[in-house]
Chains A and B, each alone.
Chain A
């Protein structure tokens, strides 16, 4: 059953949220449960539109992958120096996207920034699902994907192991660790909420939530262990997230290719990852706020804080980006300099300039408070920022492979064909499909933490009064 309008719809909009407050402290706790649980049952029509659109997009990707699987990677128009094409570029994009969720959630949790509480759940889900999407690209780009398990270090009678020297093996280990840890972190933070779902569900759903909630009854011993364990996980996740994207950067920094062999790549990648992740959080914030009627929880002041954070990270990224150019420009490495000049003036120059414009100039929109509070503008800007970040990854892969050490192999006329574009589009479908499913099955706003937030703010205001 699809309900497009109901009474509570109007009720939410009427409910007063003071402009300067992150959340209305007088909100009844039962109302929090009710609002979030209702989001899992009756989202707006837009939910189904988005879900079906992403399903369609995913099918396109599956078709292209099947075509490529049958014919070989030549079907994707890859060629000798351009061996990776959009696949690795989009792989970095998704890995980057995954960073903000867990990292911001963990950092803000450790720093007790309580405005994270209404938005961290979906951000962590974003992390998990974009990691899964990135994992797809690892498989998609392989020539013999049916032998992918050779990368895994499993004991076998021939004593063959993966090559532990290879950054790709570090990648596989790091991404595996990160995926496991972020799922654990996401699940752990959700246990008290799953208990709420269990208490309110019927039938097979009750069984499902009963199993997942791990016997949670909110006892003081459970809370005490939970508190310690959750904080420990947060402490583990911060260095882990930084290490994962540094390792992805090592794929390039460790290699010899001019334009990749740059020591500032790891921090540059981490900053870029945070940047695109923050922009994605804004996009999803706006979508979820509308689709699930979370106006009372995902409030404008929280969006405002997220935007300011995004601007700060955008400036960090801009700085590191300029440093990368500067070190290539002033360094005595002629090859790296040539690679930089090729990027700025060669075939791919329009995309390079677009990347710099979208990544460094467009974020200045976030400086203006009136624009920060204008949802349509923020939607467009956040999407543009991510387009810029995707172009950044494209600029890391394609022009560099086109302009290596050996002049005879220089190419300037390579463009991705429909198979690659279809698979990249399909990855966006796969991500939003999984994400939307998650938000329907699991509470997208953390109920117990919103209660904590409301409680502590209420106590603080009482103490002031």
Chain B
């Protein structure tokens, strides 16, 4: 049997912190801390730290893009120059280094930027299905805690949530 979601909305930041701490300490069967997702209107690095280390791989995409853009850019430009029929201009060498450095630099940045965006989209798992448990008040000022767990433990999780003054607890069933 698959796992199901439950989402609790909190008005109070401290209560949300305590709810997460209690979830961590509860040792429920079929529940992992990795399945907890915080949804917040602003970035709360201090809150997500409590969920354990969640690595970000965007930098690797950036690095790949920058290296690729620089090296492939230079090679393409230089070989285009070397193959151009009307290649001798103004007494400059056919493959002049300073102009190529300028162009390489721009391509290095362009590909770095594009790959950063791509990497971020991949990390966001686009274009994938979003979890249906979402409340528009999250984009205003509420903090949501989304838990994915075995259907049997969901009532227990909801119990923990209920102890911390949630505004609302939403489940996948009964909607």
CB distance from B40 to the nearest CB of A (A): 5
From A180, A214, A229, A240, B126 is in contact (CB under 8 Å) with A214
Cβ of A220 within 8 Å of any chain B Cβ, yes or no, is: yes
Residues in B with CB closer than 8 Å to A196 are 139-140
Cβ of B14 within 8 Å of any chain A Cβ, yes or no, is: no
Cβ of A370 within 8 Å of any chain B Cβ, yes or no, is: no
**Separation of A153 and B99 alpha carbons in the complex (Å):** 15
Given A159-B85, A236-B109 in contact, is the A223-B48 Cβ separation under 8 Å?
yes
Binds B, one of A16-24, A60-68, A170-178: A170-178
Q: Scoring A residues 176 to 213 as 1 if CB is less than 8 Å from chain B, else 0, what string do you get?
A: 11001100110010001001100110000000000000
User: For A160, A176, A218, which residue has the most chain B Cβ atoms within 10 angstroms?
Assistant: A218
Cβ of A302 within 8 Å of any chain B Cβ, yes or no, is: no
Cβ of B174 within 8 Å of any chain A Cβ, yes or no, is: no
Q: Which A-chain residue is minimally distant from B37 (CB atoms)?
A: A219
Residues in A with CB closer than 8 Å to B114 are 180, 184
User: For A196, A225, A243, A448, which residue has the most chain B Cβ atoms within 10 angstroms?
Assistant: A225
Q: Scoring B residues 128 to 161 as 1 if CB is less than 8 Å from chain A, else 0, what string do you get?
A: 1011001010111100101000000000000000
Cβ of B170 within 8 Å of any chain A Cβ, yes or no, is: no
User: Which secondary structure characterizes the binding site on chain A?
Assistant: helix
Q: Scoring A residues 3 to 44 as 1 if CB is less than 8 Å from chain B, else 0, what string do you get?
A: 000000000000000000000000011100100000000000
Q: Which B-chain residue is minimally distant from A197 (CB atoms)?
A: B139
**Separation of A29 and B142 alpha carbons in the complex (Å):** 10
Residues in B with CB closer than 8 Å to A165 are 89-90, 92, 96, 99
> Are B44 and A223 interface neighbours, CB within 8 A?
yes
Tally B residues with Cβ within 8 Å of A. 61
Q: Which B-chain residue is minimally distant from A452 (CB atoms)?
A: B42
Cβ of A226 within 8 Å of any chain B Cβ, yes or no, is: yes
Residues in A with CB closer than 8 Å to B89 are 163, 165
> Are A448 and B42 interface neighbours, CB within 8 A?
yes
Given A159-B83, A161-B84, A200-B136 in contact, is the A218-B103 Cβ separation under 8 Å?
no
Residues in A with CB closer than 8 Å to B121 are 214
> Are B80 and A164 interface neighbours, CB within 8 A?
yes
> Are A220 and B38 interface neighbours, CB within 8 A?
yes
**Separation of A224 and B120 alpha carbons in the complex (Å):** 10
Q: Which B-chain residue is minimally distant from A450 (CB atoms)?
A: B42
> Are A219 and B146 interface neighbours, CB within 8 A?
yes
Q: Scoring B residues 11 to 50 as 1 if CB is less than 8 Å from chain A, else 0, what string do you get?
A: 0000000000000000000000000011111111101100
Q: Scoring B residues 74 to 118 as 1 if CB is less than 8 Å from chain A, else 0, what string do you get?
A: 001100110111100110100010011011011101101110110
Q: List 17 A-B contacts (CB under 8 A).
A: A28-B141, A33-B139, A161-B84, A165-B90, A177-B106, A177-B113, A180-B114, A181-B109, A184-B114, A185-B113, A188-B120, A223-B40, A225-B58, A225-B124, A228-B59, A236-B116, A448-B41
Which B residues contact A (CB, under 8 angstroms)?
37-45, 47-48, 51, 54, 56, 58-59, 62, 76-77, 80-81, 83-86, 89-90, 92, 96, 99-100, 102-103, 105-107, 109-110, 112-114, 116-117, 119-121, 123-124, 126-128, 130-131, 134, 136, 138-141, 144, 146
